Amino acid sequence: MSAPRRPQPAPVPLPGARPGRDPDRAIKRGPRRVPAEVVAATQRDRLFDGLVQEVATKGYDNARVTDICHAAGVTRPAFYALFTGKEDAFLAAYRHGISVVTQLMETAYREAGPDWPDAARAALRTLLEVLASVPAFARMALVEVDAAGPDARRERDALLTRFGRFFAEAGPGPGAAGVDRDLLVATVVGGLHATIRNRVAQGRIEELPLLLPVLTYAAVAPFHGPDGASRATRPVRPEDGPSAAAPCAPAGEAAHLS
């Protein structure tokens, strides 16, 4: 008899996947006082959603703290009890959202099996589908991060460096003698990021999953050659499992930009 499956923790939504004024997260009044830490966590969560949606719609420079608070249904004093200002709130939302995306990518990477090209493709598929499922977060994290100040840009650059760990098992690559492997990985990651960012900046976020074949080829070819890259570049099959968008946005309720 097989062991019973452990219950899986509830998926964590990306910031921007839900309206900030979500009735399900309203602080309900009543005879039982809600603990202060629960109130703060709920307000922080709603402010993340409000910030991402305001920044994605208006741009970082034009999104005011007042607008963010209104979108989240949270007062300005409550905002400043949690964050020192807009930049601090942006960094917190960015870090939280990137942590969610990275964990989903790592899960897909591990579950794809021992063949590295398949694992790399699974991680890329997850990244593209998750970003497409929450367009507001994609806009905030890939485009508006450039306007959010030097700390945000340093955070983005550090993230791209950390993505190099998905290439740790890629192998040295054909004809790699004399090639700086770390620089090769950084070049590949930078190219993938630039391609995705460009599509988001053009407002074509729903098209991101269509980039999977070309991005897979670009990621795999430097390490497994054209033949290995061609084998990894294939349409999504039923055995690949369901879309990765589900944990991040309720079906039919992704936050689309106008």
Cβ(173)–Cβ(223) below 8 Å: yes
Give start and end residues of each alpha helix (H) in 134-174: 135-142, 150-162
Tell me yes or no: is domain 23-240 CATH 1.10.357.10: yes
1 vs 27, residue with greater confidence: 27
DSSP readout, 72-105?
Answer: HT--HHHHHHH-SSHHHHHHHHHHHHHHHHHHHH
Tell me what percent of the residues of the chain surpass a pLDDT of 90.
Answer: 64
Query: For residue 7, is pLDDT > 80?
Result: no
Average pLDDT over residues 139-162: 95
Question: What does R_g of the chain's alpha carbons equal in angstroms?
Answer: 20
- pTM, two decimals, is 0.85
The rounded distance, in Å, linking the Cα atoms of 71 and 65 is 10
How many degrees, rounded to 5, is the angle at CA 17 between CA 62 and CA 237?
130
The rounded distance, in Å, linking the Cα atoms of 247 and 235 is 22
Residue bearing tokens 């920044």: 55
Torsion sign over Cα 103, 109, 113, 116 = negative
How far apart, in Å, are the Cα atoms of 145 and each of 14, 153, 204, 208?
16, 6, 18, 19
Query: For residue 55, is pLDDT > 90?
Result: yes
26-35, 38-47, 232-241: which has the highest mean pLDDT? Answer: 38-47
Burial 178-212 (b: 16+ CB within 10 A, else e): eeebeebbbebbeebeeebbebbeeeebeebbebb
The rounded distance, in Å, linking the Cα atoms of 123 and 168 is 14
The rounded distance, in Å, linking the Cα atoms of 48 and 153 is 19
The rounded distance, in Å, linking the Cα atoms of 134 and 111 is 23
* pLDDT score for 22: 75
Q: Please state, as a whole number, how many other Cβ atoms lie within 10 Å of the Cβ of residue 118.
A: 18
Query: For residue 1, is pLDDT > 50?
Result: no
DSSP symbol at 197: H
What's the pLDDT tens digit per position in 227-249? 888 888 876 666 666 555 545 55
Residue bearing tokens 């499992």: 241
DSSP readout, 200-215?
Answer: HHTT-GGGGGGGHHHH
Helix (H) or strand (E) holding 118, with range, is helix 116-133
What's the pLDDT tens digit per position in 169-224? 987 766 666 788 889 999 999 999 999 999 999 999 999 999 999 999 999 999 99
Write down the mean pLDDT value for the chain.
85
Cβ(162)–Cβ(151) below 8 Å: no
Residues in the chain: 258
